[in-house]
Amino acid sequence: MSLHVDKPLPPSLYADTAIPPLALPRLEGTARAAVVVIGGGITGLSSALHLAESGTDVLLLEAQEPGWGASGRNGGQVNPGLKPDPEEVEHGFGALGHRMVRFSYAAPEALFRLVERHQIRCEAQQSGTLRAAVSAKSLAGLRVLAAQYEQRGLNDARYLDATESAEFTGTRRYHGILRDPTGGSVNPLGYARGLAHAAIAAGARLHSHSPATRLQRMADGKWQVTTPKGSVMADRLVIGTNGYTDNLWPGLRRSVVPVWSGITATEPLPDSVRQQVMPGGGVLYELGSITVYYRLDVGNRLLMGGRSKLHHMAGPEGFGLLQRYAEKLWPALKAVRWTHGWNGQLAMTPDHYPHLHEPEPDVLIALGYNGRGVAMATAMGGIVARRIGGESEESLDMPVTGLKPIPFHGLWPLAVQGRLAWGRIADRLGL
Ligand SMILES: Cc1cc2nc3c(=O)[nH]c(=O)nc-3n(C[C@H](O)[C@H](O)[C@H](O)COP(=O)(O)OP(=O)(O)OC[C@H]3O[C@@H](n4cnc5c(N)ncnc54)[C@H](O)[C@@H]3O)c2cc1C
């Protein structure tokens, strides 16, 4: 995929409802900055905001516009924790693992306080995250997780049995639910644009339609970052290009799997239907072989997310599977119109952890949130600023790891399709 052409923001519910886009200049001519951030999603914007707040001279280059990538298209779910359970994290990382657990489970709370502090208009609602078990097998996993929450006193989470789950969601689909009250939702495109406003207010310089096309180490040790119409000299680089990573940094594209996910949304639900769908509120994701996630927005539209075709989609027509599934959960939805559908790419990592790399002493790369980037990429921006501000690698709350390209990376579309097919069968059989 070439990023060197202008691509308009894809149509989505958020494009219709978020605060307006920022009018940002392209980078033209030559510039200089202490830190250049590449990528204007949550990772890059949060890094730029935290760096600018700490007094660092920072310039951000975005190939399209802030929030154009996954950050402006996602489910808007602000979810706590890492993909691996707390016990696995602590087992794998020891003392650092304990800090990673605390840090990742505190990430939603930190995000909502950041939204308040900068008065970001993004429909933020701290209404809770519901993790829902769709089978006896996933219920066993959920109970283990509930026990781990309790042992660590994490976030005052509460387990709901099948009857309470039905009362909470309005469907009998779930064997049990774990509710973490610190999660919730944002309009993600509004959130990304709000971060951009906050970063500018703190002193960062942001450029749209300015893809970094070349990185070159100069004789004096500085980096020259080239864009189609300009260049910037920098002491340090931050790369946050996630599922839209190109070949800018050697091997980076092949270190993650760019998975597609899609969302379809209804018109505002009439009151009679609204009362039946998610009466307990919150945002939900299913613990099945294939993740399905959904929530109501502030306009009472249902946003249903999950599997998507492996190419760009626009409009509600291509999302029949998700729509039929939603109508199975709440038959009253059959009377409602589906108005939107869109998709985007996020980055998965083979070890299921977000990756923070430092391939050279003056280069930081953060990516691979495995579907938890709204809260975690925001948090990672803080870590990037701490590291650049001089904190030691050991004192950070996430590990700095080596950059490892995945063998046979070119085969990922086949692997993903195989996994989707297996997931469908496994869920039907309740495996
Ligand atoms: C449909 C969908 C639903 C999701 N739902 C959720 C959810 O509900 N909750 C959750 O926590 N996570 C969710 N995610 C994942 C989440 O959106 C991502 O983890 C997060 O947005 C990653 O942010 P990012 O800034 O790292 O990457 P992105 O937002 O993808 O930003 C990367 C940016 O880099 C730019 N770029 C790339 N190359 C260059 C270059 N050479 N020069 C300049 N700029 C460049 C791109 O244009 C892009 O804007 C979802 C993802 C998708 C696609």
Please provide the DSSP assignment of 50-112 as one string: HHHHTT--EEEE-SS-TT-SGGGTS--EE--S-SS-HHHHHHHHHHHHHHHHHHHHSHHHHHH
| Average pLDDT for 397-421 | 76
Q: Please, are residues 129 and 179 in contact by the beta-carbon 8 Å criterion?
A: yes
| Residue 178 maps to a domain | yes
For residue 315, is pLDDT > 80?
Answer: yes
> Into how many domains does the chain fold?
1
155 lies in a domain?
yes
Most ligand 1 atoms within 8 A of CB, residue of 12, 62, 74 to mutate: 74
Tell me if 159 is assigned to some domain. yes
Q: What is the pLDDT of residue 307?
A: 84
Cα gap 374→379, rounded to integer Å = 9
Quickly count: other Cβ atoms within 10 Å of residue 214's Cβ.
10
Q: What is the pLDDT of residues 317-350, one digit of tens each?
A: 999 999 999 999 999 999 999 999 999 999 999 9
Predicted local distance difference test score (pLDDT) of residue 413: 64
* 134 Cβ inside 6 Å of ligand 1: no
The domain in which residue 304 lies consists of 126-183+258-348
Which residues lie below 8 Å from residue 298, measured CB to CB, with a gap of 6+? 123, 125, 187
**DSSP code for 203:** T
Count the helices and strands in the chain (H runs, E runs).
11, 19
What's 131's domain CATH number?
3.30.9.10
| Band of residue 310 on the pLDDT scale cut at 50, 70, 90 | confident
Report the separation in Å between the CA atom of 45 and the middle of ligand 1, taken as the mean of its atom positions. Answer: 11
Q: Is residue 74 part of a domain?
A: no
The owner of tokens 């995929």 is 1
Q: Is 97 close to ligand 1, i.e. is its CB under 6 Å away?
A: no
- Tell me, using a 6 A CB cutoff, whether residue 377 lines ligand 1: yes
Q: Is 69 in the pocket of ligand 1 (CB under 6 A)?
A: yes
Residue 342 covered by a domain: yes
Position in ligand 1 atom list of the atom nearest CA 376: 11
Higher pLDDT, 78 or 309: 78
pTM score of the predicted model: 0.95
Q: How many CB atoms are located within 10 Å of the residue 337 CB?
A: 8
18 lines ligand 1 (CB under 6 A): no
Is residue 343 in a domain? yes
- Find residue 160's DSSP bridge partners: 177
**Which distant-in-sequence residues (6+ apart) come within 8 Å of 374 by Cβ?**
42, 71, 74, 76, 77, 78, 79, 111, 186, 188, 191
- By most ligand atoms within 8 Å of CB, the mutation choice from 195, 242, 343 for ligand 1 is 242
- Is residue 392 domain-resident? no
**Does residue 183 line the site of ligand 1, with CB under 6 A?**
no
Neighbour-count burial of 404, counting CB atoms closer than 10 A to its CB (0-12 exposed, 13-18 middle, 19+ buried): middle
Is residue 75 included in any domain, yes or no?
A: no
Nearest CA to ligand 1 atom 41: 212
Taking CA atoms, 165 is separated from 60, 132, 135, 176, 377, in Å, by 44, 8, 13, 6, 30
Checking if the pLDDT of 421 tops 90, the result is no
Q: What is the pLDDT of residues 274-300, one digit of tens each?
A: 999 999 999 999 998 778 999 999 999
Please tell me if the CB atom of residue 367 comes closer than 6 angstroms to any atom of ligand 1: yes
Report whether residue 187 contacts ligand 1, using a CB cutoff of 6 Å: no
Q: What is the pLDDT of residues 168-217, one digit of tens each?
A: 999 999 999 999 999 999 999 999 999 999 999 999 999 999 999 999 99
Has residue 20 got a pLDDT over 50? yes
